[in-house]
């Protein structure tokens, strides 16, 4: 057995189902070993897509997704997706082929020190310099990737080491657990919550990772506290619940901002600062923070922590719920905010304007999707609309990458999501700018016969950047581009394609795409004049 075969055997031992990637010369020993493995290799059309797929798979399953590239440009292409997963706290293992040890001491074809390059975007990474350490490296890569907060690790395998004969076996897998907070800390937290007149919970993605949604609901109801969600925490409490204040995260004033202004205690639970800076929702830095998470908080002037409750989020919320008294607060202010947000979506359901308004697209999409179905938003103007207005009843049903927030994530992410959850409908919501960054993965979806739906918001430009330019300079700058005929493009790859010619077409198109149970694309022109209209509306929000 050579080191590459042992590596694959170790991955099998970890329960790996798929590896996403692109074959290369320096990883051919791994590719050959996979032919005799239970692991299915998913050949992608670009390495960045492979890492996006692995990250999405990791986020949905809680098990590290695995991606593979060769050295040089393959490894640097993989890097963006690895960084994306790491900042979004999705467990991921990246494996790269590498030049042999015998040429790493000099300038050499396609050689860069990948351990140095990957160091800033991973939790841990290492090069395998001898075959005997393969079991230790793989086990550590998994252990570190899955520890809270999860993220990416990287294994670099030189081609000469990959072919070395080795006599070793995978290491046994050990479970890991998080400690609970001391009872004295829990009692102090209970005192802060009961003394507060207007506390508010900010639910982050850590609640979903720690499977603590039931405990969140219990404490929100018992302590009578409204819950606001971050982009990545959407669905921690159902949008149908009266205590849900839906989603915060866009910069500037919004209805939810009024909730934070009202609060005299903010309780972030499982919140990651990379999503949205505290300055956006605690601009003066005066409102105290009760921080509940697996780690102590990052130091930030706008995040004045009164108390850290650190450890297992699920168990700590249980402890809080056992000790906290029943509360009956006056929440008329929260119900008013909730109604204003929900009314925005409701008022556009019958809108017939064309191109289609973002609010109308989201209203039709929400109507078409079941509570458990998965929507993945790419990055662009549509992300802000989706985050704000696509309301969710369950966690991980609206996936928004809001750490690194890399364009191009939705199409490959949707493929991985459908593989992880084959019984649920999966829709990739893409802008035309982001879509063409990884559009070649249309072929991957067809080859794998993965029935995803792409809902393309077409405006022939970088809409989010134009939005920012108009707000700051009142004129756009170099944001326009040309587009292909998306219907012909999709059909040439084997997708079914539907063109939207009026606002009334969209609902039927979504229904048809779902019933097809085949890869499908919907080309929907979007009216982004609504961006600046929203900006003006938000300016005039009054919190009185």
pLDDT digits (tens, 9 = 90+) for 36-73: 999 999 999 999 999 999 999 999 999 999 999 999 99
Tokens 């619940």: give the residue: 241
Domain boundaries, the chain: 3-162, 183-334, 347-539
d(CA 94, CA 22) in angstroms, rounded, equals 12
- What's the DSSP call for residue 408? T
Sheet holding 520-525, edge to edge: 398-400, 374-377, 426-431, 453-458, 520-525, 496-499
Identical fold for domains 3-162 and 347-539, yes or no, is yes
Phi, psi for residue 191 in degrees, rounded to 5:
-65, -45
d(CA 420, CA 236) in angstroms, rounded, equals 20
Written as six digits, the tokens of 541 are 């929000």
Query: What is the CATH T-level fold of the domain 183-334, as seen in this structure?
Result: Rossmann fold (3.40.50)
Give the distance, in angstroms, between the CA of residue 74 and the centroid of all CA atoms in the same chain.
23
In the chain, pLDDT over 90 holds for what percent of residues? 89
Tokens 């590596």: give the residue: 7
Phi, psi for residue 96 in degrees, rounded to 5:
-125, 140
Identify the pLDDT of residue 544: 67
- What pTM was estimated for this model as a whole? 0.96
Do residues 457 and 429 touch, judged by C-beta distance below 8 A? yes
∠ CA(48), CA(53), CA(56), 5° rounding? 125
Per-residue pLDDT of the chain (544 residues; tens, 9 = 90+): 999 999 999 999 999 999 999 999 999 999 999 999 999 999 999 999 999 999 999 999 999 999 999 999 999 999 999 999 999 999 999 999 998 888 888 888 888 999 999 999 999 999 999 999 999 999 999 999 999 999 999 999 999 999 999 999 999 998 888 899 999 999 999 999 999 999 999 999 999 999 999 999 999 999 999 999 999 999 999 999 999 999 987 766 788 888 899 999 999 999 998 888 899 999 999 999 999 999 999 999 999 999 999 999 999 999 999 999 999 999 999 999 999 999 988 899 999 999 999 999 999 999 999 999 999 999 999 999 999 999 999 999 999 998 899 999 999 999 999 999 999 999 999 999 999 999 999 999 999 999 999 999 999 999 999 999 999 999 999 999 999 999 999 999 999 999 999 999 999 999 999 999 999 999 999 999 999 988 888 888 878 6
Query: What is the CATH T-level fold of the domain 3-162, as seen in this structure?
Result: Rossmann fold (3.40.50)
Do residues 366 and 391 touch, judged by C-beta distance below 8 A? yes
- Of 386, 384, 457, 445, the closest CA to residue 418 belongs to 445
CATH number of 347-539: 3.40.50.970
């Amino acid at each position: 057995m050579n080191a590459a075969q042992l590596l694959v055997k170790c991955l099998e031992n970890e329960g790996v189902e798929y590896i996403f990637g692109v074959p290369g010369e320096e990883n051919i020993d791994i590719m050959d070993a996979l032919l005799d493995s239970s692991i299915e290799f998913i050949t992608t059309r670009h390495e960045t897509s492979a890492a996006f797929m692995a990250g999405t798979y990791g986020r949905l399953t809680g098990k590290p997704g695995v991606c593979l590239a060769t050295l040089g440009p393959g490894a640097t292409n993989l890097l963006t997706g690895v960084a994306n997963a790491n900042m979004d706290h999705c467990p991921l293992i990246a494996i790269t082929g590498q030049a042999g040890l015998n040429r790493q001491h000099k300038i050499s074809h396609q050689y860069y020190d990948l351990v140095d390059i990957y160091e800033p975007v991973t939790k841990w990474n290492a090069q395998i310099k001898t075959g005997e350490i393969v079991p230790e490296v793989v086990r550590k890569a998994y252990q570190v990737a899955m520890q809270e907060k999860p993220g990416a690790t990287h294994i670099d395998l030189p081609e000469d080491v990959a072919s070395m004969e080795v006599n070793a076996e995978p290491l046994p897998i050990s479970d890991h657990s998080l400690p609970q907070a001391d009872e004295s800390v829990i009692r102090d937290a209970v005192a802060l919550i009961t003394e507060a007149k207007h506390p508010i919970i900010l639910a982050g993605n850590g609640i979903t990772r720690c499977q603590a949604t039931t405990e969140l609901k219990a404490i929100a109801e018992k302590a009578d506290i409204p819950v606001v969600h971050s982009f990545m925490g959407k669905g921690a409490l159902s949008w149908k619940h009266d205590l849900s204040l839906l989603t915060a995260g866009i910069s500037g004033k919004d209805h939810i901002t009024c909730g934070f202004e009202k609060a005299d205690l903010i309780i972030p639970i499982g919140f990651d600062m990379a999503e949205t800076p505290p300055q956006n929702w605690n601009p003066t830095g005066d409102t105290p923070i009760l921080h509940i998470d697996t780690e102590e908080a990052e130091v930030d002037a706008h995040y004045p922590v009164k108390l850290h409750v650190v450890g297992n989020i699920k168990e700590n919320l249980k402890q809080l719920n056992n000790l906290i008294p029943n509360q009956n607060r006056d929440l008329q202010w929260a119900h008013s905010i909730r109604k204003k947000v929900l009314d925005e979506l409701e008022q556009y359901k019958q809108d017939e304007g064309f191109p289609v308004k973002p609010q109308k697209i989201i209203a039709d999409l929400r109507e078409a999707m079941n509570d458990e179905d998965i929507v993945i938003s790419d990055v662009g103007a549509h992300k802000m609309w989706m985050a704000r207005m696509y309301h969710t009843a369950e966690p991980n049903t609206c996936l928004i990458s809001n750490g690194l927030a890399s364009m191009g994530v939705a199409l490959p992410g949707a493929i991985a999501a459908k593989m992880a959850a084959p019984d649920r409908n999966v829709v990739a919501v893409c802008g035309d700018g982001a879509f063409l960054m990884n559009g070649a993965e249309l072929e991957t979806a067809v080859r794998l016969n993965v029935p995803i739906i792409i809902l393309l918001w077409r405006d022939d430009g970088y809409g989010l950047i134009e939005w920012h330019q108009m707000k700051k300079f009142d004129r756009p700058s170099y944001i326009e581009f040309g587009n292909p005929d998306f219907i012909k493009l999709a059909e040439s790859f084997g997708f079914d394609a539907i063109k939207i010619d009026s606002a009334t077409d969209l609902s039927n198109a979504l229904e048809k795409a779902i019933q097809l149970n085949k890869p499908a694309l919907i080309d929907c022109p979007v009216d982004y004049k609504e961006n600046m209209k929203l900006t003006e509306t938000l300016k005039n929000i009054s919190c009185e």
